[in-house]
A and B are shown apart, each in its own frame.
Chain A
Amino acid sequence: MRILGIESSCDESAVAWLEAGPTGVRKLTHLVASQEIHAKYGGVVPEVAAREHSSALPPLLAALADKVAGKPDGRLLARQVDLIAATRGPGLITSLKVGLDTGRALAAAWRKPVIGINHIEGHIYANWLPGGAFDKGYGRAPDVFPILVLVVSGGHTELLMMKGHGRFQLLGATRDDAAGEAFDKTAKMMGLGYPGGPALSKLATNGDPRKYDFPRPMINEPHDEFSFAGLKTAVRYFLRDRQGSMAEQTFLADTAASVDQAIVDVLVAKTVRAAKARKVRTVLLAGGVAANRKLRGSLAARLAAEVPDVRFAEPPLEYCTDNAAMIAAAGYFNAKRARLGDWVGMDADPHWELGRQRH
Chain B
Amino acid sequence: MKKTIVIKNLHDLHLFAKRFSRTLRGGDIIGLVGDLGSGKTTFVQHLAEDMGVKKTVRSPTFVLLQEYQTSKEFREKYNVSRLCHIDAYRLNNENELFAIGFEDYVERHDTVILFEWADRIPSVQWLDHYREVRFDFGEEGQRLVTYDKKSISKR
Question: For A48, what are the chain B residues with a Cβ–Cβ distance below 8 Å?
Answer: 96
**A45 touches which of B41, B65, B96 (Cβ 8 Å):** B96
Closest B-chain residue to A350, C-beta based? B63
**A47 touches which of B45, B56, B59, B95 (Cβ 8 Å):** B95
Within 8 A of A (CB), among B81-123: 90-93, 95-97, 99-101
Q: How far is the CA of A328 from the CA of B141 in the complex (A)?
A: 48
Interface bits A169-193 vs B (CB < 8 Å: 1, else 0): 0000111111011000100110000
User: What's the least CB distance linking A149 to chain B, in Å?
Assistant: 19
Q: How far is the CA of A185 from the CA of B116 in the complex (A)?
A: 15
**B41 touches which of A154, A176, A237 (Cβ 8 Å):** A176
Q: How far is the CA of A51 from the CA of B95 in the complex (A)?
A: 11
A198: CB under 8 A from chain B?
A: no
Q: How far is the CA of A236 from the CA of B138 in the complex (A)?
A: 13
User: What's the least CB distance linking B62 to chain A, in Å?
Assistant: 3
Q: How far is the CA of A350 from the CA of B63 in the complex (A)?
A: 9
Question: For A2, what are the chain B residues with a Cβ–Cβ distance below 8 Å?
Answer: none
User: What's the least CB distance linking A41 to chain B, in Å?
Assistant: 7
**B58 touches which of A176, A189, A232, A236 (Cβ 8 Å):** A176
Contact A45 B100 (CB under 8 A): no
Known A173-B56, A176-B58, A181-B59: A46·B96 in contact at CB below 8 Å: yes
Q: How far is the CA of A232 from the CA of B59 in the complex (A)?
A: 12
A50: CB under 8 A from chain B?
A: yes
**B99 touches which of A51, A177, A189, A229 (Cβ 8 Å):** A51
Question: For A94, what are the chain B residues with a Cβ–Cβ distance below 8 Å?
Answer: 99-101
Known A90-B63, A175-B58: A46·B36 in contact at CB below 8 Å: no
Of the candidates B37, B56, B92, B93, the one having the most CB atoms from chain A within 10 angstroms of its own CB is B37
A63: CB under 8 A from chain B?
A: no
Q: How far is the CA of A92 from the CA of B36 in the complex (A)?
A: 22
Known A93-B101, A189-B36, A233-B37: A47·B58 in contact at CB below 8 Å: no
User: What's the least CB distance linking A281 to chain B, in Å?
Assistant: 29
Closest A-chain residue to B143, C-beta based? A233
Q: How far is the CA of A99 from the CA of B91 in the complex (A)?
A: 21
Question: For A185, what are the chain B residues with a Cβ–Cβ distance below 8 Å?
Answer: 36-37, 61
Closest A-chain residue to B101, C-beta based? A93
Within 8 A of A (CB), among B56-85: 56, 58-59, 61-67
B4: CB under 8 A from chain A?
A: no
B21: CB under 8 A from chain A?
A: no
Question: For B62, what are the chain A residues with a Cβ–Cβ distance below 8 Å?
Answer: 10, 154-155, 178, 180-181
Q: List 20 A-B contacts (CB under 8 A).
A: A41-B92, A43-B90, A44-B90, A45-B96, A46-B100, A50-B100, A90-B63, A93-B65, A94-B99, A154-B62, A174-B58, A175-B58, A177-B58, A177-B59, A177-B61, A181-B59, A185-B36, A188-B36, A236-B37, A236-B137
**What 3 A-B pairs come out closest when comparing CB atoms?**
A47-B96, A155-B62, A47-B99
**A residues at B contact (CB < 8 Å):** 10, 41, 43-48, 50-51, 90-94, 154-155, 173-178, 180-181, 185, 188-189, 194, 229, 232-233, 235-237, 350-351
**B residues at A contact (CB < 8 Å):** 35-37, 41-42, 45, 56, 58-59, 61-67, 90-93, 95-97, 99-101, 137, 141
